[in-house]
Amino acid sequence: MVTRTRFDDSDCPVARSVDAIGDWWSLLIVRDAFDGSRRFGEFQRSLGVAKNILTARLRTLVDGGVLASVPASDGSAYREYVLTPKGKALFPVIVALRQWGEQNFFAPGEPRSRLVDRRRGQPLRPLETLSEDGRRLDPDDTTVLKVPAP
């Protein structure tokens, strides 16, 4: 078979995360969920994605425990998609991608959506990778211990 390669049994947590999210659409769905989208139609309009793709991705995310399908909060008979705790734990991933994008793909002053602290209306601090004892770590200050081959 020529199915897409899976990483769900990899030794590397990064690979398993990547596998669980599934594709880029899924990550943008999660982003929209953080932005407040809940309904099928909201995601569809916001992303401009084909409905069959959206259907499939929502199902994958629900099956993966990132989103949950719950009865609509407005009392109607429709359903809504909300982040589970596992989904909310993706927040640093989204923030990291956002900050990387801001720094590298926008001219100064170019209009863009902004993520702000609700209380003060200020942008967030850049994420910092810290050691156990609080030193800032660059990539070169770290190393990966691989699992010994079986």
Site for DNA in 15-44 (CB under 7 A): 23, 25, 39-42
| Count of CB atoms situated within 10 Å of the CB of 104 | 7
Binding of its own copies by 137 (CB under 8 A): yes
Residue 70 interacts with which of DNA, its own copies, none, CB < 5 to 8 Å by class: none
Return the H-helix or E-strand segment holding 17: helix 13-21
| DSSP letter for each residue of 20-85 | HH-SHHHHHHHHHHHHT--SHHHHHHHH---HHHHHHHHHHHHHTTSEEEEE-TTSSS-EEEEE-H
73 binds, among DNA, its own copies, none (CB under 5 to 8 A by kind): none
Q: 3-class SS at 136?
A: strand
Pick the binder of DNA from 51, 86, 112, 114 (CB under 7 A). Answer: 51
* Nearest Cα to Cα of residue 23 among 50, 57, 68, 65: 57
CA Rg value for the chain: 18
Q: Which of 21, 29, 58, 83 binds DNA (CB under 7 A)?
A: 58
Tokens (6 digits) for 125: 């601090």
- Here's the x/- map for its own copies, 70-99, by CB under 8 A: it reads as -------------x--x-xxxxxxxxxxxx
When asked if residue 101 is in the footprint of its own copies (CB under 8 A), the reply is: yes
Give the shortest CB-50-to-its own copies separation in angstroms.
9
Nearest approach, Cβ of residue 108 and its own copies (Å): 13
Which residues sit at the interface with DNA, rule CB under 7 A? 1-5, 23, 25, 39-42, 49-53, 55-56, 58, 72, 76-79
